[in-house]
Structure 1
Amino acid sequence: MRLPSKIQLFLIILLITGFGSCKKVKKFDNIPRIEYTSFTSIYNPDLEIYDRGVLQFYFEDGDGDIGLDNNDILPPFNPDSKYYYNLIITYFEMQNGELKEVPILWFNPETELYDTLTLSARIPNLTPNGVNKAISGEIQDTLFIYNFNSTYDTIKFEAFIIDRALNESNTISTPLIIR
Structure 2
Amino acid sequence: MKSIGKLIAVILISSIAFSACKKPLEYPLVPNIDFKSIVGVKDANGKDQYLQVTIGFTDGDGDIGYFSPESGLNDPMFDFPADATNPYYTNFKVKTYRMINNVWTVDTVDLSARIPYLTPLGSNKALKGEIQRELPLDIGLVNDTFYYEIFIYDRSLHQSNTVKTSNIVINT
TM-score, normalised to structure 2, is 0.81
Residue equivalent to 1:110 = none
- C-alpha root-mean-square deviation of aligned residues, in Å? 2.4
Structure 1 residues 176 and 125, CA, compared in 2 at 3 Å: closer, same or farther? same
Residue equivalent to 1:35 = 34
Separation of aligned partners in 2, 1:49 and 1:14:
58
Structure 1 runs of 4+ aligned residues shifted over 6 Å read: 149-152
- Which stretches in structure 1 are left out of the alignment for 5+ residues? 105-117
TM-score, normalised to structure 1, is 0.78
Is 1:176 matched with 2:167? yes
Higher Cα Rg: structure 1 or 2? Answer: 1
**Counterpart pick for 2:134 among 125, 130, 142:** 142
Residue equivalent to 2:99 = 94
Task: Report the structure, 1 or 2, having the larger strand content.
Answer: 1
Task: Report the structure, 1 or 2, having the larger helix content.
Answer: 2
Is 1:26 matched with 2:48? no
- Judge conservation of contact 1:73–1:84 (CA < 8 Å) in 2: no
Residue equivalent to 1:166 = 157
Separation of aligned partners in 2, 1:20 and 1:55:
36
> % of aligned pairs identical?
35
Is 1:75 matched with 2:52? no
- Which stretches in structure 2 are left out of the alignment for 5+ residues? none
Separation of aligned partners in 2, 1:17 and 1:175:
44
- Count of paired positions: 159
